[in-house]
Amino acid sequence: MARKPRERSRKSKAADNNGAAAAEAGMNGEAPGSYRLARMETERGKIIEAFMDLLAEQSIEEIDFIDIAERAGVSLAELRSEFGSRIAILAAHIKDIDREVLSADSTDMAEEGPRERLFDVLMRRLEAQAPYKEAIRSLLQSARRYPGLACALNGLAMRSQRWMLAAADIPSAGPVGAARAQGLALLYGRVLSTFIDDDEPGHPRTMAALDRALARGQWWIGLFDRVCRLVPGCRPRPRHRPELHEDDGEPVAI
C-alpha cells in the first residue's frame, strides 16, 4: 500500500494555505522575488543574477564572460575582480541558497526525528530555488552531456549537502558523513527532476518525491551505519549546528 506523502510541519505549511503567492514567498515569509531584489543591490549579486538568468536561456557552455558582464551592467574588469570562472559564480549562488536555508529558524523542528528534520530542511532549500527552475533544468541537461561538468556539480552538491545534514542536526563528519552527503546529493538531484516541472502551489509532487526518496535513503543509511559500527573510528561524533560566516570563502553547492 502506497504511503501517503507527509505534510510540512513548519510555519511554511500555513503559508502554503494562503495560496500560490504565499507558497512562492519562501521560508522567511518575504514577498515573492524579494530575495532576488535584495541580491541585486550589490555588484556581486547583480553578476550572480545575470548568470542565472543567462543559464535559464542557454547552456552553461555557451555563456561567455562578456555576456555575463553586459547582462549585469558591469565591466569585464569588475566581473573578474569578483569571480574567476562560471563555476565560481554558480558556487556563489549555491552558497547564498545554503545561507538562506541555514539562517531560517528551525526551533519548532527540534523534537522531530532526523528524517522529518531533513525533509523540512530540503523542502526549504527547494523553495529557495523556485525562481531558478529553468536555470536548474539547463544545468541538469548539460551535466548529462558533459561528464566533467557532472563531476564538478557533484562535488559542489556533496559539499552543500553536508551543510544540509548539519542544519538537520545529523552528523556530517568523517567517512559516514561523506557517505551520507554523497547519497543525499544523488537523492536531491533526482528530486530536482520532479521539482523543475512541479508548478503547483506548495510543490506537492516534489514533496511526495522527496518523501519517497528519503524513505529509501533511510534504509540504506541505516544499513551503512550498522556496518560502520564494525570499523573502529568510523562513526562520527555528534556536532552542533554550524554558523556560516561572511568570510567563509569555501564554495558550497547545488
What are the tens digits of pLDDT across the range 75-132?
A: 999 999 999 999 999 999 999 999 999 998 878 887 888 899 999 999 999 999 999 9
Tell me if 252 is assigned to some domain.
Answer: no
pLDDT over 80 (residue 249)? no
Tell me if 244 is assigned to some domain.
Answer: no
Structural contact between residues 135 and 55, judged by C-beta atoms closer than 8 angstroms: yes
Residue with the bigger pLDDT between 229 and 162: it is: 162
**Residues sharing a CB contact under 8 Å with residue 41, sequence separation 6 or more, in sequence order:** none
> What's the number of domains the chain is made of?
1
C-alpha cell read off for 1: 500500500
What are the tens digits of pLDDT across the range 158-211?
A: 999 999 999 999 998 988 889 899 999 999 999 999 999 999 999 999 999 999
pLDDT over 70 (residue 149)? yes
In CATH, what number is assigned to the domain containing residue 98? 1.10.357.10
Looking at residues 44-58, what average pLDDT do you find? Answer: 97
Query: Long-range contacts made by residues 77-80, C-beta under 8 angstroms, separation at least 24?
Result: 78/43, 79/47
73 C-beta neighbours (distance < 10 Å), count? 11
pLDDT over 70 (residue 228)? no
Structural contact between residues 48 and 96, judged by C-beta atoms closer than 8 angstroms: yes
Query: Which pLDDT does position 233 carry in this prediction?
Result: 55
pLDDT over 70 (residue 156)? yes
Tell me if 246 is assigned to some domain.
Answer: no
pLDDT above 90 covers what percent of the chain?
Answer: 59
Tell me if 156 is assigned to some domain.
Answer: yes
Q: Distance of CA 85 to CAs 88, 102, 124, 143, Å?
A: 5, 26, 28, 17
d(CA 184, CA 176): 12
Structural contact between residues 182 and 149, judged by C-beta atoms closer than 8 angstroms: no
d(CA 218, CA 211): 10
Query: Which pLDDT does position 217 carry in this prediction?
Result: 67
What are the tens digits of pLDDT across the range 11-43?
A: 444 334 433 333 344 434 444 455 667 777 899
Tell me if 93 is assigned to some domain.
Answer: yes
Query: Which pLDDT does position 15 carry in this prediction?
Result: 38
* Residue 174 domain boundaries: 29-228
Query: Which pLDDT does position 104 carry in this prediction?
Result: 87
C-alpha cell read off for 240: 552542533
Tell me if 234 is assigned to some domain.
Answer: no
Query: Which pLDDT does position 140 carry in this prediction?
Result: 96
